Amino acid sequence: MNHKVGLVSLGCPKNLVDSEIILGMLKNEKYELTIEHKNADVIIINTCAFIGDAKEEAIMSILEAARYKEEGNLKLLIVTGCLAERYKADICKEIPEVDVVVGTGSIDEIPAIISKGLSGEINERNLYANTPNTVDYLELTRLVTDEKPYSYLKIAEGCSNRCTYCIIPSLRGDFRSRTIENILREANLLAKKGKKEIILVAQDVTRYGTDIYQEKKLVELVRQISKIEEIERIRLLYCYPELIDNELIMEMKNNPKLCKYLDIPIQHISDNVLKAMGRRGNKAYIYDLLARIREQIPGVALRTSLITGFPGETEEDFEELCNFVKESNFEHLGVFAYSKEEGTPAYKMKGQIPQKIKKARREKLMMIQKENVENYNSSRLGHIYDTIVDGVADDGIFYVGRTYAEAPDIDSVIYFTAAEPLDVGMIVPVKILCQDDYDLVGEVQM
C-alpha cells in the first residue's frame, strides 16, 4: 500500500522551493501525495520563523494538523523548515504531537525518515538536524504542481550578512551559491513545464557567485538564462543595496528579458539606526544608488522593506525615515514593526521601543506610501503595458495579471477584460483605465 503524504508550506518563496523539492523526493519514492489531510498517513509542516507572526502561524498549523491523529489517519507528523531548525529541542519537548523534527540541513533525508517513522524505527530523540552547510538538496528535482506562468528559482542558500535583527544565518548557514550549470538545468526544466517568468531568489541574489567563483556572477547567470527561448521574463528578489553595481544596472537597462524591477531591502535610512542594525551602507550611499538606478533605467519599479521601532530609534530617526519614503517614491513598500528575536544581537540592545509605538510608526509610513502609490498609479492611467496572464479573478469576469512592475504574491495586480479568451502565460497589451485602491483595472488592446 502506498502511504499518503500531505504537506503544508509556510513562509517565503524560498521555503516554497524547499517544499517542492520535498514533494519531488516523495514522488520519486512512490509516496502518494494528497491535499486531503484527513486521509494522510503523514503530514509535513514546512515552517517559517523569521518574525513572531510567522512563528505563531507555524505553531497553529502544527496543532491544526495534529488533530488528524484523532479525526483522520495521521500516523506521523513531521515539522521541518526554519522553526524546526531554530527551536528543534523545544518542539520535541513542548509539542508532543510532533513525531519528528527535521532541521534545514536534513531536508534531503525526509523520505528515509518517513520510512523509518512508519516502521517504528525512528531515533529516540525524534530529531534530525545536520549543520546547514551545502546546497546539494537544491539539485534534486522539484515537483511543480501549480499552473501559474511563473516559478521561483533558488540560486543560493544561507546568508553571510550579519544584520543584528536577523536570525536567518543561524538557521540557514552562510551564503552558498549553486553552480551556473545546475541553475540552468533547473531553469530549462521550468521552461519545459510552461513557466514564462523565472524569479531568481536568495537571501541576497547580488552576492551570487562570490563564494564559489570569487566574483559576482549574477549578470552572467541572467544572460545565460535569457538564452532559454521559452522564458520571456526574469525577475530578481532580493538585491542588497551594497552589491548593486553599474554592471547590473546596465544589464537591467539593456536586457529585454530582465524585468526593470528591483527589490532592495534597505530597512532604514538613519545612519544611527543602520549602524545599529549592522548594515554596511549609509544614508548618502542609498540616496545616490537610487538616483543612479532611476537615471539609468527609465520606468524602473523599486520595492523596499523597512523596519520601524528598532531599538534606539528616536523620533528624529523616524522623521528621517518618513522624509525618505516621501522623497524616494517607491512603487512598492513593505513595512515591519521590529520583532524582538531571541538569538540576535538586537534582542539584548538597550532602548527597546514599546509595541504600540512600533506599530504606530509602521502605520504612519504606510499612510505616506499609500499616497505614493496613488500618484504612481495615476501616472499609469491611459498607458499600455505588456501584461502576463496569471489567471482569472475570483469573480470570473476579469483576468488577473502583472506588468514588469509587479512581482507575484507581494505586489498589486492588474485586473483586465479581453474580447477574446486568453490562456494563462500569455503576455498581452493592456491599457490601464482606472485604479482600484492599490490595484489597477484595464482592458486588452488587440
Identify the CA nearest to 379 among candidates 294, 292, 299, 295.
299
Range(s) for CATH 2.40.50.140 in the chain? 384-444
Task: Please report which confidence band the pLDDT of residue 123 belongs to, taking 50, 70 and 90 as the band edges.
Answer: low
Q: How far apart are CA 247 and CA 251, in angstroms?
A: 6
Task: Please report which confidence band the pLDDT of residue 356 belongs to, taking 50, 70 and 90 as the band edges.
Answer: very high
Q: Which grid cell sits at 435?
A: 485604479
Topology of domain 136-380 in CATH is pyruvate-formate lyase- activating enzyme (3.80.30)
| 124-128, 393-397, 410-414 — most confident range | 410-414
In this structure, the number of other CB atoms found within 10 A of the CB of residue 104 comes to 24
Residue-level pLDDT at 121: 73
Query: What's the chain's Rg over C-alpha atoms?
Result: 22
Range 384-444: architecture per CATH: Beta Barrel (2.40)
Q: What is the mean pLDDT of residues 286-301?
A: 97
Task: Please report which confidence band the pLDDT of residue 125 belongs to, taking 50, 70 and 90 as the band edges.
Answer: low
Q: What is the mean pLDDT of residues 352-361?
A: 97
Backbone angles phi and psi of 152, in degrees to 5: -85, 145
Identify the CA nearest to 176 among candidates 161, 194, 155, 195.
155
| 25-39, 51-65, 90-104, 227-241 — most confident range | 227-241
**Given a cut of 80, is residue 115 above it in pLDDT?**
yes
The pLDDT > 90 percentage for the chain reads 81
**Bridge partner residues of 386 (DSSP):** 429
Residues 157 and 176 sit within 8 Å (Cβ to Cβ):
yes
**Given a cut of 70, is residue 1 above it in pLDDT?**
no
Q: How do residues 331-342 score in pLDDT, each as one tens digit? A: 999 999 999 998
Q: How far apart are CA 91 and CA 82, in angstroms?
A: 12
Task: Please report which confidence band the pLDDT of residue 129 belongs to, taking 50, 70 and 90 as the band edges.
Answer: confident
Residue-level pLDDT at 90: 86
Per the listing, cell 538597550 goes with 350
Q: How far apart are CA 120 and CA 117, in angstroms?
A: 5
Whole-prediction pTM value?
A: 0.93
Q: How do residues 152-189 score in pLDDT, each as one tens digit? A: 999 999 999 999 999 899 889 999 999 999 999 999 99
Largest CA distance in the chain: 66
Q: How do residues 303-345 score in pLDDT, each as one tens digit? A: 999 999 999 999 999 999 999 999 999 999 999 999 999 899 9
Residue-level pLDDT at 95: 87
Q: How do residues 89-99 score in pLDDT, each as one tens digit? A: 888 888 888 99
**Given a cut of 90, is residue 143 above it in pLDDT?**
yes
116-125, 213-222, 245-254, 399-408: segment of lowest average pLDDT: 116-125
Reported as type and span, the H/E element at residue 135 is none
Range(s) for CATH 3.80.30.20 in the chain? 136-380
In this structure, the number of other CB atoms found within 10 A of the CB of residue 243 comes to 17
Q: What is the mean pLDDT of residues 240-255?
A: 97
Angle between helix 180-192 and 218-226 (nearest 10): 30
* Mean pLDDT computed over every residue of the chain: 94
Q: How far apart are CA 84 and CA 103, in angstroms?
A: 5
Q: How far apart are CA 327 and CA 286, in angstroms?
A: 12
Identify the CA nearest to 357 among candidates 296, 290, 311, 424.
311
Long-range (24+ apart) CB contacts under 8 A made by 64-73 are: 65/6, 65/8, 65/37, 66/95, 66/97, 66/98, 68/37, 68/38, 68/40, 68/43, 69/97, 71/38, 72/37, 72/38, 72/39, 72/40, 73/4, 73/38, 73/39, 73/40, 73/41
**Given a cut of 90, is residue 427 above it in pLDDT?**
yes
**Bridge partner residues of 150 (DSSP):** 197
Q: What is the mean pLDDT of residues 347-358?
A: 96
Superfamily of domain 4-128, CATH level 4: Methylthiotransferase, N-terminal domain (3.40.50.12160)
**Given a cut of 70, is residue 204 above it in pLDDT?**
yes
Range(s) for CATH 3.40.50.12160 in the chain? 4-128
Task: Please report which confidence band the pLDDT of residue 190 belongs to, taking 50, 70 and 90 as the band edges.
Answer: very high
DSSP string, 238-285: ---GGG--HHHHHHHHH-TTB-SEEE---B---HHHHHHHT-S--HHH
Sign of the CA dihedral running 321, 325, 328, 334: positive
**Given a cut of 70, is residue 122 above it in pLDDT?**
no
